[in-house]
């Protein structure tokens, strides 16, 4: 597409209506969004979910019966609701993680959470690989809200450990819980320290992208929202009366009343804006394009699939034919060369063998000739002796004479 | 004397003067000065150092939170002890504050309470040894912990498992006063429900908190103790900063939507805690440590020594 030419239209064609068609189709299909809330108990997770979607999704916690038994592992509870606004249906799934950070030993507390997220990736992967893919349910976690306790110092060891393990698998959005316990200067200092901690440990929290095609307003809006991360929030599903008589959602104290929907008081509005109004779709895309794809690549590599990059090359039929022919010819040439080589080898072998046997024959011949020569000389010697009338063995007489002389 | 006189006290016929013994004791004690040892236990970030500074109205200890990102978080619980002498109206108080940074801060907090329990027992043990030596000081310096302020995180739900375990162990060796930290995050209804829940849990787990009911208490004392029992755990807010409210400078916290006055009884129970610790029960805390906790420790130790000797 990079090489495509940009042509100017001469009249109205009508494909500018595409977004509306997509809109109609999506509204008919409905949307799905899965958000996970993680944090120590008592930080206001359930209340925040109720506040975000303005519906009593989580009932207030009834007092659990006192007992010696308490759960030993982090539980995973999923709440599914269908909510509708202006004809748009949203299937909202909230995954709660009761027990996280509440035990004496919290070393395994992120395991069930990690398993849930990966399990959902696995089920989506399996659905993608099925033969019949007409109905795929997307249960992947689109956002993870991590609740930080408002200590005012910096991140706890558990916070850092959890975030380090999950930032590559899910969109992490840290929030400062119950921030009405901190003054504004304390919140600003706390946020700074949290961001320093996050940068120090190379944790990648969710960061909205800027697109070149966005208008200035959207870019500024996004920048504004992102600058408030981690969001300092207060949640409330109760209506209170403020000192000046208004009825708003908030919390009432003897010293004042904090309004949840007031941007001056807390960052709840910004969080809702990002999560629901502007970046919900982007969070889903991020989950699909980045986190899910990374997981899929890792998983397939582990399973032994090799990366075959040739499937990415563009295919032109004529060129392919030429290529094949060239390949074939090359093969033939190679075969010819091979055969020549083999032939030469054989010839050399035979030659060397022949020279060897020639050598052998020659030496044998020489030997035999020498032996014959020796015999001939011998015979001649004997002949000479006989002609001179001497005994055949001259040495014996000599010896006899010697013996007599001795006596 | 008649038979009735044996059952009733003899009536003094003229002024003897032994009622001045109280002022004699007071003079002696003023010269000697008092020693009070308090320990603070709680997770990092609950405002322990700030609260101590607020109670004694001076900057005694610094917050030990981790500020720099490249600082590693503490791997074990440390015991830091500071001694300060503060004077008020001629009364000298030697204050020893024991801080326990690192408690409950790690991912795995198993046995994080052991250094704390060991420290408390060590103080008892060193006092016992000083008592038992042949040549001992006339006035042994008392480093035993008189009061342990236990900070509960304001979740609004219930006590955490680690809190329950540690409270059980602590109440066996020291006077424990539980405190709900940073209680400005709870509305009044939430605070009442939370306290109720905590008291239920303490009763369920048989956790015995100071003040202890005793048979020697008269009516006034038991009434006071009952009212304290109702208030425990104290919901406090600490602040070293001063703000101006209605023209008066008070210690408090200021937000864009309200101002918390630490010394206002309607806002938090700081006043009650301070009065309890310093104005009404200071002497009782010291005495209870000596008479109950120390004696329990002492008898256990001596029995164990005797058994070891016999073996």
If phi > 0 it is left, if psi is from -120 to 50 it is alpha, else beta; for residue A245 that is: left
If phi > 0 it is left, if psi is from -120 to 50 it is alpha, else beta; for residue B212 that is: beta
Q: In whole angstroms, what is the distance from residue A45 CA to residue A117 CA?
A: 19
pLDDT at A246: 85
B46 in contact with A at a CB cutoff of 8 Å? Answer: yes
**Which residues 318-337 of chain A have a CB within 8 Å of chain B?**
none
**pLDDT tens string A175-204:** 999 998 888 889 999 999 999 989 999 888
H helices within A108-239, ranges in order? 110-128, 157-166, 184-200, 216-227
Task: Give the tokens for residue B264.
Answer: 């206002």
User: If you average pLDDT over residues B267-293, what whole number do you get?
Assistant: 88
For residues A351, A356, A361, A363, the Cα torsion angle rounded to the nearest 10 degrees is 140
pLDDT at A362: 95
Cβ atoms B120, B174 nearer than 8 A: yes
User: If you average pLDDT over residues A317-345, what whole number do you get?
Assistant: 91
**pLDDT tens string A202-258:** 888 888 776 767 778 878 888 888 888 899 999 888 888 887 888 888 888 888 888
Is the confidence at residue A274, as pLDDT, over 90? no
Task: Identify which of B69, B255, B261 has the shortest CB distance to residue A183.
Answer: B255
Is the confidence at residue A347, as pLDDT, over 90? yes
Mark yes or no for CB contact B109/A64 under 8 Å: no
A396 in contact with B at a CB cutoff of 8 Å? Answer: no
Cβ atoms A237, A249 nearer than 8 A: yes
A111 in contact with B at a CB cutoff of 8 Å? Answer: no
Residue A50: band (very low, low, confident or very high) from pLDDT cuts 50, 70, 90? confident
pLDDT at A404: 47
**Which residues 169-208 of chain B have a CB within 8 Å of chain A?**
182, 184-185, 187-188, 197, 200-201, 204
* End-to-end CA gap in chain A: 131
- The pairing of strands B242-245 and B248-254 is antiparallel
Q: In whole angstroms, what is the distance from residue A32 CA to residue A26 CA?
A: 11
Report all structural domains of chain A as residue ranges with CATH numbers, in order of start: 22-61+70-314 (3.40.50.300), 318-399 (no CATH)
- The pairing of strands A231-232 and A172-176 is parallel
Report chain B residues whose CB lies below 8 A from the CB of A199. Answer: 69
Residue A398: band (very low, low, confident or very high) from pLDDT cuts 50, 70, 90? very low
Is the confidence at residue A397, as pLDDT, over 70? no
How large is the ipTM? 0.83
B254 in contact with A at a CB cutoff of 8 Å? Answer: yes
Report chain A residues whose CB lies below 8 A from the CB of B106. Answer: 157
Token match 């709900």: residue?
Answer: B180
Report chain A residues whose CB lies below 8 A from the CB of B201. Answer: 66
Mark yes or no for CB contact B45/A152 under 8 Å: yes
User: If you average pLDDT over residues A146-163, what whole number do you get?
Assistant: 89
Alpha-carbon gap: A122 to the closest alpha carbon of chain B (Å)? 29
User: If you average pLDDT over residues B41-53, what whole number do you get?
Assistant: 89
Predicted TM-score of the model (pTM): 0.77
Task: Give the tokens for residue B139.
Answer: 């006035």
- The pairing of strands B248-254 and B259-261 is antiparallel
pLDDT at A131: 85
pLDDT at A2: 55
B156 in contact with A at a CB cutoff of 8 Å? Answer: yes
Report chain A residues whose CB lies below 8 A from the CB of B165. Answer: 104
pLDDT at A399: 47
Alpha-carbon gap: A213 to the closest alpha carbon of chain B (Å)? 37
pLDDT at A313: 67
Mark yes or no for CB contact A153/B105 under 8 Å: no
Interface mutation vs chain B, best among A41, A254, A268, most B CBs within 10 Å:
A254
pLDDT at A64: 60
User: If you average pLDDT over residues B186-198, what whole number do you get?
Assistant: 91
E strands, chain B, in order: 34-41, 80-88, 91-99, 147-152, 176-180, 234-235, 242-245, 248-254, 259-261
Which residue in chain A has the smallest CA separation from B108? A105
DSSP string, A12-66: --SGGGHHHHHHHHHHHH-EEEEEEEE--TTS-HHHHHHHHTTS--SPPPPPPPP
Helices (H) and strands (E) in chain B, counts: 10, 9
pLDDT at A82: 84
Token match 């609701």: residue?
Answer: A81
Interface mutation vs chain A, best among B69, B74, B238, B243, most A CBs within 10 Å:
B69
pLDDT at A403: 45
DSSP A154: -
Of A305 and A101, the structure prediction assigns the larger pLDDT to A101
Residues in CB range of B148: below 8 A, 6 or more apart:
B38, B39, B40, B41, B120, B170, B174, B175, B176, B177
Residue B212: band (very low, low, confident or very high) from pLDDT cuts 50, 70, 90? confident
Mark yes or no for CB contact B259/A255 under 8 Å: yes
A161 in contact with B at a CB cutoff of 8 Å? Answer: yes
**Which residues 31-70 of chain A have a CB within 8 Å of chain B?**
40-43, 61, 63-64, 66, 70
User: If you average pLDDT over residues A23-48, what whole number do you get?
Assistant: 86
Q: Out of A117-131, A144-158, A322-336, B211-225, which region has the weakest mean confidence (pLDDT)?
A: B211-225
Which residue in chain B has the smallest CA separation from A60? B157
Mark yes or no for CB contact B156/A42 under 8 Å: yes
How high is the mean pLDDT of chain A? 84
Mark yes or no for CB contact A104/B161 under 8 Å: yes
Is the confidence at residue B213, as pLDDT, over 80? no
Percent of chain B with pLDDT over 90: 17
User: If you average pLDDT over residues A276-283, what whole number do you get?
Assistant: 82
Cβ atoms A114, A169 nearer than 8 A: yes
pLDDT at A345: 95
Q: Identify the helix (H) or strand (E) that includes residue B226.
A: helix B219-231
Mark yes or no for CB contact A104/B157 under 8 Å: no
Within its chain, how far is the Cα of B135 from the centroid? 32
Q: Out of A66-70, A319-323, A381-385, B100-104, which region has the weakest mean confidence (pLDDT)?
A: A66-70
A251 in contact with B at a CB cutoff of 8 Å? Answer: yes
How high is the mean pLDDT of chain B? 85
pLDDT at A372: 96
Alpha-carbon gap: A253 to the closest alpha carbon of chain B (Å)? 5
Is the confidence at residue A28, as pLDDT, over 70? yes
Nearest Cα residue to B182 out of A153, A134, A309, A265: A153
If phi > 0 it is left, if psi is from -120 to 50 it is alpha, else beta; for residue A89 that is: beta
Mark yes or no for CB contact A42/B153 under 8 Å: yes
A377 in contact with B at a CB cutoff of 8 Å? Answer: no
pLDDT at A310: 67
User: If you average pLDDT over residues B157-176, what whole number do you get?
Assistant: 89
Residue A405: band (very low, low, confident or very high) from pLDDT cuts 50, 70, 90? very low
Task: Identify which of B44, B154, B255 has the shortest CB distance to residue A184.
Answer: B255
Alpha-carbon gap: B254 to the closest alpha carbon of chain A (Å)? 6
DSSP B258: B
Q: In whole angstroms, what is the distance from residue A117 CA to residue A142 CA?
A: 10
Residue B80 backbone phi and psi in degrees, to 5: -115, 130
């Amino acid at each position: 597409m990079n090489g495509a030419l940009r042509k100017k239209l001469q009249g109205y064609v009508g494909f500018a209506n595409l977004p509306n068609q997509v809109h109609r189709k999506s509204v008919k299909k409905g949307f799905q969004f899965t958000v996970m809330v993680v944090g120590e108990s008592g930080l206001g997770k359930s209340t925040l979910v109720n506040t975000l979607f303005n519906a009593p999704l989580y009932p207030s916690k009834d007092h659990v019966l006192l007992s010696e038994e308490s759960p030993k592992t982090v539980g995973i509870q999923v709440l599914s609701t269908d909510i509708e606004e202006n004809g748009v249906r949203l299937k909202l799934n909230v995954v709660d993680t009761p027990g996280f950070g509440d035990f004496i030993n919290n070393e395994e507390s992120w395991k069930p959470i990690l398993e849930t997220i990966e399990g959902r990736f696995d089920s989506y992967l399996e659905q993608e690989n099925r033969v019949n893919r007409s109905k795929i349910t997307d249960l992947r976690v689109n956002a993870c809200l991590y609740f930080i306790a408002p200590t005012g110092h910096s991140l706890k060891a558990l916070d850092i450990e959890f975030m380090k393990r999950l930032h590559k698998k899910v969109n992490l959005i840290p929030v400062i819980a119950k921030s009405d316990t901190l003054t504004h200067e304390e919140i600003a200092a706390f946020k700074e320290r949290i961001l320093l901690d996050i940068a120090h440990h190379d944790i990648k929290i969710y960061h909205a992208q800027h697109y070149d095609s966005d208008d200035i307003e959207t870019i500024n809006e996004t920048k504004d929202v992102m600058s408030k991360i981690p969001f300092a929030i207060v949640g409330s599903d109760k209506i209170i009366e403020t000192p000046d008589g208004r009825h708003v959602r908030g919390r009432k104290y003897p010293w004042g009343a904090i309004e949840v929907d007031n941007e001056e008081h807390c960052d709840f509005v910004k969080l809702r804006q990002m999560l629901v109004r502007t970046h919900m779709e982007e969070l889903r895309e991020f989950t699909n394009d980045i986190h899910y794809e990374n997981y899929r690549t890792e998983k397939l590599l582990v399973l032994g699939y090799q990366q075959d990059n040739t499937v990415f090359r563009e295919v032109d039929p004529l060129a392919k034919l030429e290529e094949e022919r060239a390949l074939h010819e090359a093969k033939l040439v190679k075969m010819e060369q091979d055969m020549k080589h083999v032939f030469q080898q054989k010839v050399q072998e035979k030659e060397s063998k022949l020279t060897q046997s020639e050598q052998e024959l020659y030496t044998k011949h020489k030997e035999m000739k020498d032996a014959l020569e020796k015999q001939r000389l011998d015979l001649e010697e004997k002949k000479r002796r006989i002609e001179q009338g001497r005994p055949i063995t001259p040495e014996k007489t000599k010896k006899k004479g010697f013996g007599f002389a001795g006596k | 004397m008649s038979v009735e006189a044996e059952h009733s006290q003899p009536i003094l016929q003229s002024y003897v003067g032994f009622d001045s013994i109280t002022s004699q004791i007071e003079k002696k004690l003023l010269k000697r000065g008092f020693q009070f040892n308090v320990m603070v236990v709680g997770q990092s970030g609950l405002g322990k150092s700030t609260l101590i500074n607020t109670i004694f109205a001076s900057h005694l200890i610094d917050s030990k939170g981790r500020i720099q990102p490249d600082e590693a978080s503490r791997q074990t619980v440390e015991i830091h002890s500071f001694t300060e002498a503060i004077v008020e109206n001629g009364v000298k108080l030697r204050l020893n504050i024991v801080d326990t940074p690192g408690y409950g801060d790690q991912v795995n907090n198993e046995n994080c309470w052991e250094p704390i329990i060991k420290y408390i027992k060590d103080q008892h043990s060193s006092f016992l040894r000083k008592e038992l030596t042949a040549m001992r000081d006339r006035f042994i310096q008392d480093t035993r912990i008189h009061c342990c302020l236990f900070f509960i995180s304001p979740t609004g739900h219930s006590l955490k498992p680690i809190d329950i375990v540690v409270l059980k162990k602590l109440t066996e060796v020291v006077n424990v006063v539980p405190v709900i930290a940073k209680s400005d995050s709870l509305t009044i209804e939430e605070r009442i429900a939370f306290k109720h829940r905590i008291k239920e849990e303490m009763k369920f787990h048989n956790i015995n908190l100071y003040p202890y009911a005793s048979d020697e208490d008269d009516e006034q004392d038991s009434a006071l103790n009952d009212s304290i029992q109702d208030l425990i755990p104290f919901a406090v807010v600490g602040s070293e900063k001063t703000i101006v409210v209605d023209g008066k400078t008070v210690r408090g916290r200021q937000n864009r939507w309200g101002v918390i006055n630490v010394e206002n009884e309607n806002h938090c129970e700081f006043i009650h805690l301070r009065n309890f610790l310093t104005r009404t029960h200071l002497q009782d805390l010291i005495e209870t440590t000596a008479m109950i906790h120390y004696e329990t420790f002492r008898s256990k130790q001596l029995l164990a020594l005797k058994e070891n000797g016999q073996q």
